[in-house]
Chain A
Amino acid sequence: MKPSSTDTSEDVLLHKVIQGDSQAFGVLYELYLDKIYRYVFYRVSDQVDVEDLTEIIFFKAWQSLVNIQKNDSPIQNFRAWLYGIAHNEVVNHHRNKTSEVPLDDSKNLPDQTPSPEKIVEVQERNRLLAKAISQLDPDSQQVLIFRFIDQFSHDDTAEIMGRTPGHIRVLQHRALKKLLSILMKERQKNE
């Protein structure tokens, strides 16, 4: 699915997709594939699940866009809308797999970097971080991913999560403290 449009304005692309233009969706797919993959990676612990969910999220986005009716309320912010689908899919995934997902199971974490020299170090670092983040509540997971992995501003994070910037600041502080606590416990365990 190669981008064919020279116009990368998301609104224009969105309009084209709603008209059934699969090429325009291809452009949006390329723009957001890494971001959505990363978002799912830090919230789901199994590589196969990360990949499956990423595909499901984009396919559901396509289905929703081409089925939009004239009377439906328009999508104001595609990024927030897409992350909303991703969040729902992750929540559904955890709901369906609650009894079978061991949080400390990191054997299947994705291979991240092709550099052979650093592969062990990188995998270990990502593994620890993803494992720790995956133990947090959904709001904390999201705020950490958006603020520090994707490095969105407070305002952008608030827009995506549908909260106020003030609420995001509170969630951010709480999430960092919780994550710190988890990492310190892990460190103590390993010592």
Chain B
Amino acid sequence: MNDTIVNILAECLEALDRGEITIEECQQRYPQYQEELKYLLLLSKYIKAAPDVTPSPVFRHAASTRMNNLIKNQISLQKNQQSDRSRQHARKAKDRVTVRRHSIPRILVTAIVVIGLLFGGTVSTAAASSDSLPGDTLYPVKTSIEDIKLVFADDEGDVELNVQYAQNRVEEMQALVEANRYDDIPIAVQRYEHNIADLAQAMAILSANDPARAEAHANLLEAARANRTEVLTGLLDKVPDQAKKGIQRALEAGPPDHAGGPPEGKGPPDHAPGPPEDKGKPDSTDVP
């Protein structure tokens, strides 16, 4: 491609558009391309002079009407689809609320888990429940499995498991905050308080039965407590006011008195907070 003629043609066309030059003048300015310029510029003039092409009035009117109808039909269709989606969402939300309100009774879940563990039939359910969060349908399965493990643990195992479970609760609270599921935080807090109370009791029993092992766990417990406090304090800055109260309660639930003597009875030590007065989940948690 000859760049020179390309640019000369473009330059002449622009000058012609501005009315600054005629075809003849352009030819004279570039005599070496005189012939080619003449034909190409005349052709461009011929194309420009072509009568305007416009849609016929009949087509214009008919097309406008058809376009209007198509758009109206589409808008109507989209509105119907949106309406259908809204109804579906509402139905799903209602279903979720129903599932939560009629959650599987804890005793039944425990029974299912026990039977399942005995007969090996609920391995997949148990595995699936491990990632569940407070408020999820499988969450009671997760906590029931934890309870069952405690039944079969020795004194030292009790301490270690309760430390681990308390940590699980803190991680659940973190996950709930990240998922903006603030309404489910009280469930985790309630369970956390339960774990801390159990930990205090387990530590008291271990101290009575094996002071040396209890002493060996002291540093572990302190490190775990410091970690939980740090995480919970961090969460306080991230949650809205309605969730702060729960996190604050969790902060006040520890640490257990791991240096304390043996418990006087089977109940939790005096300093351990008892279960919250409201054993059920707040109503607001029923709303997804």
Contacts and interface: CB of A to CB of B under 8 A. Distances in A.
Contacts of B43: 176, 179-180, 183
Q: What's the interface size class on A, roughly?
A: 35 or more
Interface in B118-151: none
A62 B39 contact: no
B40 A173 contact: yes
Nearest to B59: A51
A122 B51 contact: yes
Contacts of B51: 112-113, 118, 122, 125-126
Contacts of A34: 54-55
B55 A54 contact: yes
Interface stretch (A7-15, A91-99, A147-155): A147-155
Interface string B99-131: 000000000000000000000000000000000
Contact of A177 (B7, B40, B48, B63): B40
Contacts of B6: 169-170, 172-173
A159 to B, nearest CB: 16
Which of A38, A118, A172, A173 counts the most B-chain CB atoms under 10 A from its CB? A173
Interface in B1-35: 1, 5-7, 9-10, 13-14, 17
Contacts of A169: 6-7, 9-10
Interface of chain B, helix or strand or loop or mixed? helix
Contacts of A153: 14, 17
Contacts of A151: 17, 48
B44 interface: yes
Interface stretch (B65-73, B158-166, B170-178, B195-203): B65-73
B71 A37 contact: no
Contact of A173 (B9, B46, B75): B9
A188 B276 CA distance: 101
A125 to B, nearest CB: 6
9 contacts: A37-B54, A54-B63, A58-B63, A58-B67, A126-B50, A149-B48, A172-B9, A176-B9, A183-B43
